[in-house]
Amino acid sequence: MDRKLPYIQWLRCFAAVAVVLMHLCSGPWYAADITGGDFLALTVLDGLVRWPVPVFVMISGALFLGRERPMGKYIGRCITALVFWSGVYTLVSGKSAMAAWTEFLCGHFHLWYLYFLCGLYLIAPFLGPIARDDRLSRRFLILGLIFGNTLPRIPELIALFSGPLGELAATLYGRVKIYFFLGYVFQFVLGYRLSIWEPDDRQCRVVYGLGILGAAVTVVGTLALSRCLGQPVQVLFDPQSPQITAVAAAIFVFAKRNLKHLPSWADGLARHSFGVYLAHVLFIEKLAEGGITVLSGHPMAAAPVLTVAITVGCCLVSALLGWIPRPGQRII
């Protein structure tokens, strides 16, 4: 598949902007009064943009599972980006030597995605034959939806409530970690299957309807759980949950079906989408240190303005770093 298909580039644009907005809202969301208007606004904003990582994963599946690729090259790019950006975040963290060393080895919180990508690229050659086989891929997606996206959420929800059942669920959820791998692998294969799927109008309406329903469940469910328990509850914000996957799939199908042309500005943003992902947290944290967050004004007004400003700043940083081998460039 052509890496620069218009809809793939548009999806990169959407995901890059959405991930900036998501991380802008997620920190203040925890600090906001759950009975106030700011919490409501942040829940709506944050809940509607929990899909960028699934979309990035689906893009990777669409590009890498259709045919064999030299995965070692892409793993090398991930490692280069990880080392470079871990160093950047460590240098600006101001932590003690031991804490800084830990920060460098583990990476800043959002750099987990680079570790994950390396693992995904390692198993891509084994998943390719499954993804390309209609019968095998159908069975794989059914099992992935059940065991990777749905069942792991059940003990997580039960664990929110007190009592012996809640304690048992919390223990089960804490020990069974295979869900972390399966949910994204499901989305990886789903991305390839969606890229070759040619739905009719009725099927598209079903996919879009499921996406809208998924977004509503995320926002309304999060508000209900948080106010019921008296604290912010983000269990429905999990990007591997079935309703978030439905939103990501709807966006993927919409882009593939409708976005056939790509203006130059969108192509430029798409080329720097990975740089935006890597650099945006640095901008957010430095602005927060200066007292500038989405709570500096009304979140519905402040969030879009800050999202645009940070995205533009990240694109400039990515462009400036373009001469350094790989860290300023996208790799998916």
The predicted model scores a pTM of 0.89
**Residue 105 structural domain:** 6-323
In a domain, 332, yes or no: no
In a domain, 38, yes or no: yes
Q: What is the pLDDT of residue 332?
A: 40
Q: What is the pLDDT of residue 1?
A: 56
Beta-carbon contacts of residue 135 (< 8 Å; ≥ 6 apart): none
Query: Model confidence at 162, in pLDDT bands (50, 70, 90)?
Result: low
In a domain, 65, yes or no: yes
Greater pLDDT, 155 or 215: 215
In a domain, 304, yes or no: yes
In a domain, 328, yes or no: no
In a domain, 298, yes or no: yes
| Token pair recorded at residue 5 | 């298909």
Query: Model confidence at 329, in pLDDT bands (50, 70, 90)?
Result: very low
In a domain, 145, yes or no: yes
Residue 91 has pLDDT above 90, yes or no: no
What's the number of domains the chain is made of? 1
Nearest to 302 by CA among 21, 19, 84, 1: 21
In a domain, 331, yes or no: no
Q: Is the dihedral of CA 307, 180, 211, 34 positive or negative?
A: negative
Dump pLDDT digits (tens) for 200-259. 999 999 999 999 999 999 999 999 999 999 999 999 999 999 999 999 999 999 999 999
The whole-chain average pLDDT of the chain stands at: 87
Beta-carbon contacts of residue 156 (< 8 Å; ≥ 6 apart): 169, 173, 235, 238
Q: What is the pLDDT of residue 328?
A: 43
Greater pLDDT, 87 or 215: 215
Amino acid letter for position 37: G
Q: Which of 25-29, 250-254, 308-312 has the lowest mean pLDDT?
A: 25-29
Query: Model confidence at 330, in pLDDT bands (50, 70, 90)?
Result: very low
Q: Which of 8-17, 20-29, 117-126, 146-155 has the lowest mean pLDDT?
A: 146-155
